[in-house]
Each structure stands twice: as C-alpha cells, then as structure tokens.
A and B are shown apart, each in its own frame.
Chain A
Amino acid sequence: MFEFCADPSILPDWQWFACYLTSGTHWAFYRSFLVVILLLIITAPMALGMGMLGALALRSGFAPVNLLGRGYVNLIRGVPDIVFFLFVPIALGQGIEWVLHQINCPDWDQPIRQGNDFIVCREAKMPPVDASAWARNVYGFTMAIIAFALVFGAFVANTLYGAMQAVPRAQVETAESYGMTRRQAFRRIVLPQMWVFALPGLSNIWQILVKATPLLFLLGIQDAVFWARELGGAKTSLYTYPHPDWRVWYFLALLVFYLFLTWASERGFGWLTVRLSRGQATAEGERLRRRAA
C-alpha cells in the first residue's frame, strides 16, 4: 500500500500500523464486511418475496394452498433456525445432486448412499468437478442465501398476514360495494395500506436478520468472523507482521460494526414509519395530520 512498507520490522509504530492495516489479508477482512451487507441486501427482498407468497397462501381459500402455507410457516417457526441454517444447504445440495444424478446417469446401478457416503456420478456433482474456486464460493453463498430467505420468509409471512388482516375491514367492504372484485380490492385497498401495520414486525425481523449474519461463518463462508479469527490469532516472527493474540480487538471491531448496523437500521425504520403513516387512519397518521393543519 505505502512505499515505506518494504520492511515493516524496522518501522516506527504508526507506520507499522498503517502498513499492517492495509495488508492484503486486511483488505479481504474489509471486503468481508461488504459480504455481510451484500447478504442483507439480497436476502431482505427475497425473504419479503417468500413472505408475500406465504401470506397469500395463508389467505387463500383453496385448501391445499392454505395448508401448504400453514405448514411452511409453522414448521420453520417451530424449530430452532440454527438447525435450518445448517440443514437446508446440505439437504438442498444433496437434493440437487440426486436430481442431476437421475437425469444424467440413468444407467448407474449402485446405490447413492453407501454406508456413510453420498455417491453420485461425476456429471451430477454440484458445483461441477472442474469448477473454479470462485464458482464454488458463489455456490456456497447462494445456498446460504436460500437458507436465510426460507427461514426469514416464514417470519415475514406471518407478519404480512397479520398486517393484511389489520387493514380496516370496512374499507374492503366499501371497495366491494363499489363493484371491485376481491382481487381488485386487495390490490388497490389492502396492498397499499398494509405496510404501515407490517412495519413494526418487519423492523423486528430485519434486526434479527442483521444479527443472524455472523452465522454465515458456520456455513464455511469466509465472512468477517472467519477473518477476525484468522487475522487476530497470534503471529510468530515468521510472519511479516508478528503480533500477540489480538482477537479480542478484532471481535470488538465486529461488535461495534453490528451495534452501528442495528442502531442505523433503527433510525431508518423510525423515519420510514413516519413516512408511511402519512394520510393513514392510525394514531401516528392523525398526529401528522394535526401537526400539518
């Protein structure tokens, strides 16, 4: 990074730290914070989409769809989600390989589960045998995102379902008496108004999602926790930057990062609540109207 970094062992303190904190592995550490943010940005809309589907299934009058929605929401909410975070990627991975195996190698005569091994033919391996390290990382990350979206989708479904029920019934009835179909009334009346009711629940789920991101580490992804452990551990003089055990400082930095993230999202949701309450038939909306008048 800096020119004077050629031989760090002779540098004075501040320059040593300037070099140390800009070394290649530290850039990987800083990038891993972006991975956390990336996960949040991708997972949140996916969970919202899953949640919307789940809520619509819960509302559906068609019995099998309704049952499916209820099964999904209750199963995931009833089991500790750490189980799901570890179960979904491996189960999904084996499921994909099994399907590919059935398609690509129909004349394979040996069983797939032999003792404790899960054996599929070469063409069915996912990610493919000759995939690059980068592709393998993306595959692992995608699995993690699916697991997160599945779990948080169930939480969101429950919140959105409650919010849809909370939209005043009289408004829907009025819409229907104007001749709107059930679908039109849902799209024009319920959908725009439900968000203000959903917001407290969604903000809660978002905070939980933020605090769940370090669990990526358990899925073998090189996230902030992984790098904090790697970089913080004691380094002998064999390394360019020898130092004693500094893990506590690295984890302190992580702690501060997460505190900032939750604090900032609290502020963000506060702003959003005010914004969405405008013109709503709620106490907050009434207060905004009075203040403006």
Chain B
Amino acid sequence: MRTCAESFQGYVLRPLGRDYGERLLPRGLDITFCDQLFLIGGGLLWNIYFAALAVGFGFFLAIGVALMKFSDNPWLWRPASGFVFLFRGSPLFIQFFFFYSAFILLPRTGIDIPLGFTTLTVQTSALTTAQVGGLFVLILNTTAYSAELFYGALRSVPKGDLEAADAYGMKGFTKFRRVIWPNMLRLAWPSYTNEVIFLTHSTTLVFLSAFPARQQSGEAFYYARYFVDQTFNPFVAYPLVAAYFIALTLAIIGLFGLANRRLNRHLPQARRQRIRFRPQYIR
C-alpha cells in the first residue's frame, strides 16, 4: 500500500501525461482513498484548462456574434442567429461526436491553401486531440450561449443612457466603448456567471464522448469513472468529484462576484444586481 504522500507524488500531476508521475494508474485492490483524492484533484487541472480557455476566447467571440445579431443588416444577423440556433438547439454531447468524426476525416498532413505567391499549410492533426479539438467545440458552444445572453443585454441597455451619449455627441466606437459595452456587461453579468459555471461543468463531457484520453490523461470526471469501474463502488469517487466541482463553482462565483461589484460600482446600493446561482447543468 502506498502512503498518502506517495500517492500525492505519484498521481497529482499524472493527468498531464505519464511522464509526470507513475506510468500506470492504480488498479483493482491497489486503489487507496488518497489515490482517488489526488488523481481526481489533478484531473481538475484539465477542467480548469478547458473552461478558462473556452471562456477566454468565447467571451470576445460572443460579443462579436451578439453585435452581429443585434444589427439591422440581414447579412449580419441571419448568420449570427443561425449559429446561435445551431449550437443552442443541439446537445453538446452530439456536437462533440459530430466534430470529432469530422476532424478525423481531415488529411493528417494538413491542408494546403494556395495563396498565389506562397502556399499556406494549415496543421489539422492536433484537432483530433481533446486538448485542441474538444476545446474548439467548447469555444463554439459557449460563444453561442453567451452571445444569446449578450444579445438580450444589448436589447435592454437603458434608453436614457443612449440619449445622454447622443447628447454628448458620442458616435460609433466611442459610444459603444463608453456607454453600450459597460451597460451590456453589467446587465449580462449575473447570467454570464451562470453560463461560465455550466460550461465548467460540461467540460466533464469532453472525454466521455468521442475524444480519446491519450496516455490515460483525462479530466476529473474521467478518473472518477475509471475508479468506479475498477472498484465497483460509486460511493467514494462520485461524491469526491462532486465536492471538487462544488468548490470550483464557489471559486467562480467569488471571482465573478468581484467583477460584478466593479461593474456596478456607479449604481446606488439598492439597484445593484446580485449574482444568484441558478444551476442547470446540461446543455
């Protein structure tokens, strides 16, 4: 039997690959509680990786898509609405399968794009890995969900604020940056916090679908499932992973709550929107 310290050394970074700890995962009767604690905890690194990068890219893309959907030009709002409908109307689980099976059809050597004077080779082999391909799907998915939130917020920017901006002679980008954008963020923030939480929870689906976990390096729920398969005892690994996710959720609420306070700092106390945690996990 390993001691807890040995488990920590052997497994806490094991999710990054087999070079970062024990080559093999613990098996069968050899599994201790500490193994489960640290391996699942280490897997959380990937959940944070997927969530942070997807939110980081998705945030800016979503604002772009929301502005497109809000515009009067049918060449802009039609594709934006279509994109949002496509990704909000279908299950993320199926999206993972669909994109994975599309990515493996791409040529391994990359795609050559002739530009006349030179040929650009787009590398495609990475797309079949969860770390790139799965992230790509998550980015598109969170973009669609957040775009819908930002679109709703754009529609409810106070009329008085817009009129005040006009009265000051603000136009175009200045008006957007100084009046529309802060208002939009402030209005959408509580629901955006919830969206980030759902996204974090749905990172558990990455390795459950088509994307392979190379060298058995996966995220927290992948290991929880591995342990339940090995020990046939769902009463340890699943509560553990649930506890980790509750902690992660609380951290997100804390972090986004700080941002929320800053976004609302100009308003009187009573009118400030508080973040309410309204979990609805599946997408």
Do A and B interact with each other, yes or no? Answer: yes
Q: Is A258 touching B233 in the complex (CB atoms < 8 A)?
A: no
B158 within 8 A of A: no
Query: Count the A-B residue pairs with Cβ separation under 8 angstroms: how many?
Result: 114
Most B CB contacts (10 A, CB to CB) among A83, A211, A213, A262 go to A83
Could you mark each residue 231-273 of chain A with 1 if its beta carbon is under 8 Å from any beta carbon of chain B, else 0?
0100000000000010110011011001100110000000000
Q: Known: A248-B98, A254-B94. Is A86-B238 also a contact (CB below 8 A)?
A: yes
B186 within 8 A of A: no
Q: Using Cβ atoms and an 8 Å threshold, which residues of chain A touch B95?
A: 255
Nearest residue (CB) in B for A92 is B234
Q: Using Cβ atoms and an 8 Å threshold, which residues of chain B touch A263?
A: 85, 89
Q: Is A78 touching B90 in the complex (CB atoms < 8 A)?
A: no
Q: Is A116 touching B232 in the complex (CB atoms < 8 A)?
A: yes
Could you mark each residue 239-251 of chain B with 1 if its beta carbon is under 8 Å from any beta carbon of chain A, else 0?
0011001100100
Q: At the interface with chain A, which of B2-10, B71-79, B101-109, B131-139?
A: B101-109
Residue in B85, B97, B204 whose CB lies within 8 Å of A228: B97
Q: Using Cβ atoms and an 8 Å threshold, which residues of chain B touch A115?
A: 28-29
Q: Is A116 touching B28 in the complex (CB atoms < 8 A)?
A: yes
Which interface class (under 10, 10 to 19, 20 to 34, 35 or more) fits B?
A: 35 or more
B230 within 8 A of A: yes
CB distance from B195 to the nearest CB of A (A): 14
Q: Using Cβ atoms and an 8 Å threshold, which residues of chain A touch B282?
A: 81-82, 208, 211-212, 215
Q: Using Cβ atoms and an 8 Å threshold, which residues of chain A touch B89?
A: 258-259, 262-263
Residue in A82, A118, A214 whose CB lies within 8 Å of B221: A82
Nearest residue (CB) in A for B231 is A116
Q: Known: A116-B29, A214-B93, A248-B101. Is A91-B279 also a contact (CB below 8 A)?
A: no
Q: Is A258 touching B91 in the complex (CB atoms < 8 A)?
A: yes
Q: Known: A113-B233, A211-B91, A259-B85. Is A251-B225 also a contact (CB below 8 A)?
A: no
Q: Is B233 touching A116 in the complex (CB atoms < 8 A)?
A: yes
Could you mark each residue 140-165 of chain A with 1 if its beta carbon is under 8 Å from any beta carbon of chain B, else 0?
00000000000000010000000000
Could you mark each residue 180-205 of chain B with 1 if its beta carbon is under 8 Å from any beta carbon of chain A, else 0?
00000000000000000000010011
Q: Is A215 touching B93 in the complex (CB atoms < 8 A)?
A: yes
* A:179-238 near B, CB below 8 Å: 204-205, 208, 210-215, 217-218, 225, 228-229, 232
CA distance A257 to B77 in the complex (A): 24
Nearest residue (CB) in A for B105 is A248
A111 within 8 A of B: no
Q: Is B280 touching A208 in the complex (CB atoms < 8 A)?
A: yes
CB distance from B233 to the nearest CB of A (A): 7
Q: Known: A117-B232, A212-B282. Is A258-B90 also a contact (CB below 8 A)?
A: yes
Q: Using Cβ atoms and an 8 Å threshold, which residues of chain A touch B53?
A: none
CA distance A94 to B231 in the complex (A): 13
Q: Known: A82-B204, A204-B280. Is A251-B101 also a contact (CB below 8 A)?
A: yes
CB distance from B226 to the nearest CB of A (A): 12
Q: Is A255 touching B94 in the complex (CB atoms < 8 A)?
A: yes
Most A CB contacts (10 A, CB to CB) among B29, B94, B232 go to B94
Q: Using Cβ atoms and an 8 Å threshold, which residues of chain B touch A245?
A: 101, 104-105
What are 18 residue pairs bridging A and B, where the CB atoms are less than 8 Å apart in the complex? A77-B279, A78-B249, A82-B205, A82-B208, A83-B224, A86-B238, A113-B233, A116-B31, A204-B280, A211-B282, A212-B282, A217-B93, A218-B208, A228-B97, A251-B94, A254-B94, A259-B90, A263-B85
Q: List A residues at the B interface (Cβ < 8 Å).
A: 77-83, 86-87, 90-91, 94, 113, 115-118, 155, 204-205, 208, 210-215, 217-218, 225, 228-229, 232, 245, 247-248, 251-252, 254-255, 258-259, 262-263
Q: Across chains A and B, which 10 residue pairs bring their CB atoms closest together, nearest first?
A: A247-B101, A251-B98, A211-B91, A262-B89, A248-B101, A80-B201, A79-B242, A212-B282, A87-B238, A258-B90
Q: List B residues at the A interface (Cβ < 8 Å).
A: 28-29, 31, 85-86, 88-95, 97-98, 101-102, 104-105, 201, 204-205, 208, 221, 224-225, 228, 230-235, 238, 241-242, 245-246, 249, 279-283
